[in-house]
Amino acid sequence: MTSGRFITFEGGEGVGKSTQAHLLVDALRGRGLEVVQTREPGGTPGAEAIRDLLLDKRFAWDTRAEALLFAAARSDHVSHLIGPALDRGEWVVCDRFIDSSRAYQAGGGEWSDDAVLSLHTLGSHALMPDITFLLQAPTDEIAQRLHERDGNDADRIGGKPAAYHARVAEHFRQLAVTDPERFVLIDASGTPADVHLRVMRAMAPSIGEGG
């Protein structure tokens, strides 16, 4: 059996990660590949329960508590879903993973990148994706999409101040600069089909369709 790949979509709120993850999964399945589609925080019953706690506005988790909860959710997700799928040789497409903790809890919050990675080593054997698509689009275009999807109803983390989200975006950019082998920057402006085409161009070598 050919070995599957672990692919993640990262980026700020509402940039189109879920939409592109769906389109990529359909494209891979259309080529006969076994693909597990999942998301973070979540993906397993335990991690989805932690997701509800994390995003609930009634709780005032600080970024330290957040980082621990995200790491716990990820540990369950890797143990029960992602790890076994990769062991079976399947592909895994995940909407957010460790880089979101690095960008939000370290970049946006008060943890260092090393501390977040240490938790990841403890919780999830330091599993890293093979390919990470970092989606980026102009702020006004994303604001329009979020407004159409959510109105004014952001969740606990999405509703944090703009300055927090600007630090998150900057940290994502830095992560991509320090790991150009893994990160693929995707211009997420335009229609979903436009963006999907850019993703598929970048995927071509991994699915044997490169020049």
Ligand X SMILES: Cc1cn([C@H]2C[C@H](O)[C@@H](COP(=O)(O)O)O2)c(=O)[nH]c1=O
Of 197, 202, 160, nearest to 7 (Cα)?
202
Is residue 42 within the footprint of ligand ATP (CB under 6 A)? no
The smaller minimum CB distance to ligand ATP, of residues 115 and 145, is found at 145
The smaller minimum CB distance to ligand ATP, of residues 46 and 190, is found at 190
Closest separation in Å from C-beta 32 to ligand X: 29
* Residue 20-39 contact track with ligand X, rule CB under 6 A, x = bound: -------------------x
Instruction: Give the position of tokens 């997701």.
Output: 51
d(Cα 186, Cα 196) in Å, to the nearest integer? Answer: 9
- Amino acid, res. 9: F
Burial 165-202 (b: 16+ CB within 10 A, else e): bebbbebbbebbeeeeebbbbbebeeeeeebbebbeee
- The answer to whether the annotation marks 79 as part of a ligand binding site is no
* 205 upstream amide cis, omega within 30 of 0: no
* Residue 87-106 contact track with ligand X, rule CB under 6 A, x = bound: ---------x---xx--xx-
31's tokens: 């080529």
Using CB under 6 A, pick the residue from 6, 7, 10, 13 that binds ligand ATP.
13
DSSP 3-state of 29: helix
Is residue 17 within the footprint of ligand ATP (CB under 6 A)? yes
The smaller minimum CB distance to ligand X, of residues 38 and 101, is found at 101
Chosen from ligand ATP, ligand X, none, partner binding at 195 (C-beta under 5 to 8 Å by type): ligand ATP
The smaller minimum CB distance to ligand X, of residues 37 and 101, is found at 101
Inter-residue contact 135 to 11 (CB < 8 Å): yes
Instruction: Give the position of tokens 């979509």.
Output: 9
Is residue 19 within the footprint of ligand ATP (CB under 6 A)? yes
Known binding residues for ATP? 11-18
- Positions touching ligand X (CB under 6 A) are 13, 39-41, 70, 96, 100-101, 104-105, 157-158
Known binding residues? 11-18
